[in-house]
Chain A
Amino acid sequence: MKILSISVLQAPSSGASSLLSSANDLSSFSFYQRGSVGEFVTFFSKTVAERTQPGQRQSVQENNYTAHVFNRGELAAVLITDQEYPVRPAFSLLAKVLDDFVAKVPQDSWNNPSSISFPELATYLSNYQDPRQADGIMRVQQELDETKIVLHKTIESVLQRGERLDTLVDRSTHLSTQSKMFYKTTRKQNSCCVVM
Chain B
Amino acid sequence: MPPPIQDRTNEFRSCVDSIRSRSSLTRGGADSKQRLLRNAKTTAKTEFASMASAIGKDINGTNIKLGKLAQLAKRKTLFDDRPVEISELTFIIKQDIANFNKQIASLQSYVKQRSAQGSKSPEAKQLEEHNNNVVMLLQSMLANTSMTFKDVLELRTQNMKESRNRTEQFMYSTSTATAQAAASSSMLYNSRPDPMGDGSPSRYDSKGKGRAPQNGDVLALDLDSAEAGIPGTQNGGAFQQMQLVEQQDSYIQSRSTAIESIETTIAELGQIFTQLATMVAEQRETVQRIDADTMDIASNVSGAQRELLKYYASISSNRWLMLKVFGVLIVFFLVFILVS
Point out residues on A near B: beta carbons under 8 Å: 55-58, 87-88, 91-92, 137-138, 140-141, 144-145, 147-148, 151-152, 154-155, 158-159, 161-162, 165-166, 168-169, 172-173, 175-176, 179-180, 182-183, 185-187, 189-190, 196
Of all chain A residues, the one with the shortest Cβ separation from B318 is: A196
B300 within 8 A of A: yes
B244 within 8 A of A: yes
Chain B residues contacting A179 (CB-CB under 8 Å) are 296-297, 300-301, 304
Asked whether, in the complex, the Cβ of B265 is within 8 Å of the Cβ of A144, the reply is yes
Asked whether, in the complex, the Cβ of A140 is within 8 Å of the Cβ of B262, the reply is yes
Distance in angstroms between the alpha carbons of A30 and B314 in the assembled complex: 101
Asked whether, in the complex, the Cβ of B325 is within 8 Å of the Cβ of A88, the reply is no
Distance in angstroms between the alpha carbons of A177 and B294 in the assembled complex: 11
Asked whether, in the complex, the Cβ of B262 is within 8 Å of the Cβ of A169, the reply is no
Chain B residues contacting A168 (CB-CB under 8 Å) are 286, 290
A62 CB, nearest partner CB in chain B, Å? 19
B280 within 8 A of A: yes
Chain A residues contacting B297 (CB-CB under 8 Å) are 172, 175-176, 179
Query: Per-residue CB proximity of B300-337 to A under 8 Å, as 1/0?
Result: 11011001101100100000010011000000000000
Distance in angstroms between the alpha carbons of A141 and B264 in the assembled complex: 10
B288 CB, nearest partner CB in chain A, Å? 10
B254 within 8 A of A: yes
Binding site secondary structure of chain B:
helix
Asked whether, in the complex, the Cβ of B303 is within 8 Å of the Cβ of A183, the reply is yes
Asked whether, in the complex, the Cβ of A176 is within 8 Å of the Cβ of B293, the reply is yes
Give the interface size class of chain B: 35 or more
B46 CB, nearest partner CB in chain A, Å? 37
Asked whether, in the complex, the Cβ of B251 is within 8 Å of the Cβ of A196, the reply is no
A20 CB, nearest partner CB in chain B, Å? 23
Asked whether, in the complex, the Cβ of A148 is within 8 Å of the Cβ of B293, the reply is no
B276 CB, nearest partner CB in chain A, Å? 6
Chain B residues contacting A87 (CB-CB under 8 Å) are 251, 254
B182 CB, nearest partner CB in chain A, Å? 21
Asked whether, in the complex, the Cβ of A187 is within 8 Å of the Cβ of B296, the reply is no
Asked whether, in the complex, the Cβ of A186 is within 8 Å of the Cβ of B311, the reply is yes
Of all chain B residues, the one with the shortest Cβ separation from A89 is: B258
Which of B279, B280, B296 contacts A180, CB < 8 Å? B296
Asked whether, in the complex, the Cβ of B279 is within 8 Å of the Cβ of A155, the reply is yes
Within 8 A of A (CB), among B244-258: 244, 247-248, 251, 254-255, 258
Asked whether, in the complex, the Cβ of A151 is within 8 Å of the Cβ of B269, the reply is yes
Distance in angstroms between the alpha carbons of A189 and B301 in the assembled complex: 15
Point out residues on B near A: beta carbons under 8 Å: 244, 247-248, 251, 254-255, 258-259, 261-262, 265-266, 268-269, 272-273, 275-276, 279-280, 282-283, 286-287, 289-290, 293-294, 296-297, 300-301, 303-304, 307-308, 310-311, 314, 321, 324-325
B251 CB, nearest partner CB in chain A, Å? 5
Of all chain B residues, the one with the shortest Cβ separation from A88 is: B254
Chain B residues contacting A166 (CB-CB under 8 Å) are 286
Asked whether, in the complex, the Cβ of B293 is within 8 Å of the Cβ of A175, the reply is yes
Query: Beyond A88-B255, A148-B268, A179-B297, is A56–B247 a contact (Cβ under 8 Å)?
Result: yes
Of all chain B residues, the one with the shortest Cβ separation from A187 is: B307
Chain B residues contacting A144 (CB-CB under 8 Å) are 262, 265-266, 269
Of all chain A residues, the one with the shortest Cβ separation from B306 is: A186
Which of A151, A180, A186 contacts B273, CB < 8 Å? A151
Asked whether, in the complex, the Cβ of A152 is within 8 Å of the Cβ of B272, the reply is yes
Q: Which of B280, B283, B310, B324 has the most CB of A within 10 A?
A: B283
Asked whether, in the complex, the Cβ of A57 is within 8 Å of the Cβ of B262, the reply is no
9 A-B pairs with the lowest CB-CB distances in the bound complex, closest first: A179-B300, A186-B307, A172-B293, A183-B304, A88-B254, A144-B265, A183-B300, A165-B286, A176-B293
B306 CB, nearest partner CB in chain A, Å? 8
Asked whether, in the complex, the Cβ of B293 is within 8 Å of the Cβ of A57, the reply is no
Chain A residues contacting B300 (CB-CB under 8 Å) are 176, 179-180, 182-183
Asked whether, in the complex, the Cβ of A189 is within 8 Å of the Cβ of B275, the reply is no
Chain A residues contacting B262 (CB-CB under 8 Å) are 137, 140-141, 144
B308 CB, nearest partner CB in chain A, Å? 5
Between A and B, 6 residue pairs with Cβ closer than 8 Å are A144-B262, A147-B269, A151-B272, A158-B276, A175-B297, A189-B307
Chain A residues contacting B273 (CB-CB under 8 Å) are 151
Chain A residues contacting B286 (CB-CB under 8 Å) are 162, 165-166, 168-169
Chain B residues contacting A137 (CB-CB under 8 Å) are 255, 258-259, 262
